[in-house]
Amino acid sequence: MPKVRQYAVIAIISLLGCVITAAATVSVYGSKQTIPAGVTLSGWSIGGMTFTEWERQLGLQTGRVNERVVNLQLPAGAPAHASWTLQQLGLSSNAGQLQHTLDALRIGSLWDRAKARWAMRNQALTFETALDAAALKQTVRQIWAAWDDKQPVNAQRVVGEDDTIGYIPEHNVERIDYDKLYELVKQTIPPFHAAEPTMGPATVRVPLTTAKPAVTMESLKAQRIDRKLTEFTTYAPPQNSAGRIHNVRSTAASIQDVVLKPGEIFDYSKFIELTETKYGFQEAPVIVNGKLVPGIGGGICQVSSTLYNAVLLSGLKIVERRNHSLPISYVPLGQDATFASGFINFRFQNTTGAYLLIRSATTDNQVTIKLFGNAPANVTYEVESRTLETLKPPVKYVHNPQLKVGKTELLSNGKPGYVVETRRVKKVDGLVTASELISKDTYSAQPTLIAVNNGKEGEVTPPGENTTPYVEDGVKGPVYRTP
């Protein structure tokens, strides 16, 4: 055999030997049943430990952490203490992830296991724990939910029978402070170390926090509702039906204890909507196009008119107000405030610079509105109204075919209308300092009705008479019931 060929054969045989040796080395290295050298777990050396021993130690130490008992003690209450393991209180760890990491050393091909073993040399693994705040709270509430659910009670402002302002203090309650409890329980988690003996129970005093209500006596006093500013009372008209009494009482109840912020505008329409939703309105006479007719909600303007007068006497700003189309009996001309949904509203602004409290009281025949707040006691207001003009009743003719042609018959006498001016007079220490024009109102005259047969059917409507249909002093009308 030529020397060249001989050398080639020797080289191939050597190469095959190296490959076989390397394969054998990889096979031996990858099939080892121990953790690579230099590997530590949270400072604990586990390099060289067999997989079986590793699993046993991991289970023991994980259980040692999870099963540590924590005694929780409340400062007061029954039961005053309870015990749970850390795992029951929501503790978890990355033990499963660590196991998965080391599983790469014994799962897969020998080549993959050898690569994983080589890459893992001298690695510093960490045992990590996590405490679930939601699970902690859920576990604790199994015992102390009643304690935890106690509700604080708002402070109350009390208006005495003599209209003095008093207060009932708020009632605070103590609840479990779960944020602080979470931190305290975390401190009881033992370190992960094989040399550590099993630790005894930990004791944690449950921290409490004071829960205050939204309304405190301090916050109420800061509103500066210190005294009664004024009050006004109106008396029901003779036609005060049961339905009208219901409507008046219900509307007055809707504005009871309403509090307005400084600068806030009171909107009567919102309280009419509230009354209709909460109580409903009943049948009572309303005004439609200057006529008193059956309707729903009659009487609601006695409340708005009573409130209007109390507002005038307190010096507050009138934002929107209109008089009735017909004179009413429970307040002087020029001092009423009507309401017609979608057409006429009553609004005023709290211009006192402090909060304003509205109080209402009703009987079957009267309404009283009181306003409480803060204003100089030496400043008072008076309201003066005077009639500028009396309007003569127009004549309205109604066709009656039963009469002879050319004949007439008086059906009803008309009533005069009025033009009225109202002023508000301001006094300081009893001396007049200002006079303010509040309104100039027109109350329509009610026509004299005369039946006539002039050969033409229908009703003669005088030019300029208002024919726009809207309901005053109610929410619906006319309502006629069939026999």
- The half-sphere exposure of 446 on its side-chain side, counting CA atoms within 13 A, is 15
| Residue 193, domain member (yes or no) | no
Residue range 381-440, pLDDT digits in tens = 999 999 999 999 998 887 778 777 777 777 778 889 999 999 999 999 999 999 999 999
Of the given ranges (98-102, 131-135, 206-210, 286-290), which has the lowest mean pLDDT?
286-290
Q: Is the pLDDT of residue 104 over 90?
A: no
pLDDT of residue 99: 84
pLDDT, mean of residues 306-311: 98
Query: pTM for the whole thing?
Result: 0.74
Last residue of a domain, one of 78, 109, 130: 130
Average pLDDT, the chain: 86
| Residue 149, domain member (yes or no) | no
Higher-confidence residue of 412 and 94: namely 94
188 pLDDT band, cuts 50/70/90, is very high
**CA–CA–CA angle 407, 413, 419 (5° rounding):** 130
**What is the spatial distance between Cα 236 and Cα 241, in angstroms, rounded to a whole number?**
10
Last residue of a domain, one of 78, 108, 130: 130
| Residue 182, domain member (yes or no) | no
Residues 101 and 227 in one domain: no
Q: Is the pLDDT of residue 464 over 90?
A: no
* Residue-wise burial string across 315-343, b where 16 or more C-beta atoms lie within 10 A, e elsewhere: bbebeebbbbbbbbebbbbbbbbbbbbee
49 pLDDT band, cuts 50/70/90, is confident
Higher-confidence residue of 273 and 342: namely 273
pLDDT of residue 440: 97
Q: Is the pLDDT of residue 356 over 70?
A: yes
Q: Is the pLDDT of residue 301 over 60?
A: yes
Q: What are phi and psi of 88, to 5 degrees?
A: -65, -30
Residues 124 and 235 in one domain: no
- Look at phi and psi of residue 299 and say left if phi exceeds 0, alpha if psi is from -120 to 50, else beta: left
Other beta carbons within 10 angstroms of residue 373's beta carbon come to 25
Residues 109 and 252 in one domain: no
SS (H, E, C) the chain: CCHHHHHHHHHHHHHHHHHHHHHHHHHHHHCCCECCCCCEECCEECCCCEHHHHHHHHHHHHHHHHCCEEEEECCCCCCCEEEEECCCCCEEECHHHHHHHHHCCCCCCHHHHHHHHHHHCCCEECCCEEECHHHHHHHHHHHHHHHHCCCCECCEEEECCCCCEEEECCECEEEECHHHHHHHHHCCCCCCCCCCCCCCCEEEECCEEEECCCCCHHHHHCCCCCEEEEEEEEECCCCCCHHHHHHHHHHHHHCCCEEECCCCEEEHHHHHHHHHHHCCCCECCEEECCEEECCECCCHHHHHHHHHHHHHHCCCEEEECCCCCCCCCCCCCCCCCCCECCCECCEEECCCCCCEEEEEEECCCEEEEEEEECCCCCEEEEEEEEEEEEECCCEEEEECCCCCCCCEEEEECCECEEEEEEEEEEEECCEEEEEEEEEEEEECCECEEEEECCCCCCEECCCCCCCCCCEECECECCCCCCC
Residues 260 and 400 in one domain: yes
| Residue 461, domain member (yes or no) | yes
| Residue 81, domain member (yes or no) | no
Q: Is the pLDDT of residue 78 over 70?
A: no
Range of the domain at 94: 3-67+86-130
pLDDT of residue 98: 84
Of the given ranges (175-179, 241-245, 302-306, 403-407), which has the lowest mean pLDDT?
403-407
Last residue of a domain, one of 130, 158, 185: 130
Residues 242 and 364 in one domain: yes
Higher-confidence residue of 138 and 7: namely 138
pLDDT of residue 443: 94
| Residue 239, domain member (yes or no) | yes
Higher-confidence residue of 198 and 43: namely 43
Residue range 323-351, pLDDT digits in tens = 998 898 999 999 999 999 889 999 999 99
Counted domains in the chain? 2
Question: Minimal CA–CA distance to 138: which of 176, 189, 173?
Answer: 176
Residues 280 and 394 in one domain: yes
* Residue-wise burial string across 22-51, b where 16 or more C-beta atoms lie within 10 A, e elsewhere: eeeebeebbebebbbeebebeebebbebee
| Residue 198, domain member (yes or no) | no
375 pLDDT band, cuts 50/70/90, is very high
pLDDT, mean of residues 449-465: 61
Q: Is the pLDDT of residue 237 over 50?
A: yes
466 pLDDT band, cuts 50/70/90, is very low
pLDDT of residue 465: 47
Higher-confidence residue of 176 and 110: namely 176
- Selection from 45-54, 138-147, 456-465 with the highest mean pLDDT: 138-147
- The half-sphere exposure of 243 on its side-chain side, counting CA atoms within 13 A, is 14
Q: Is the pLDDT of residue 195 over 80?
A: no
pLDDT of residue 424: 98
Residue range 14-35, pLDDT digits in tens = 555 555 554 555 555 556 788 8
pLDDT, mean of residues 367-372: 98
Q: At what angle do helices 110-120 and 3-30 cross, to 10 degrees?
A: 70
Residues 125 and 229 in one domain: no
pLDDT, mean of residues 195-219: 87
463 pLDDT band, cuts 50/70/90, is very low
Residues 227 and 124 in one domain: no
5 pLDDT band, cuts 50/70/90, is low
| Residue 44, domain member (yes or no) | yes
Residues 122 and 248 in one domain: no
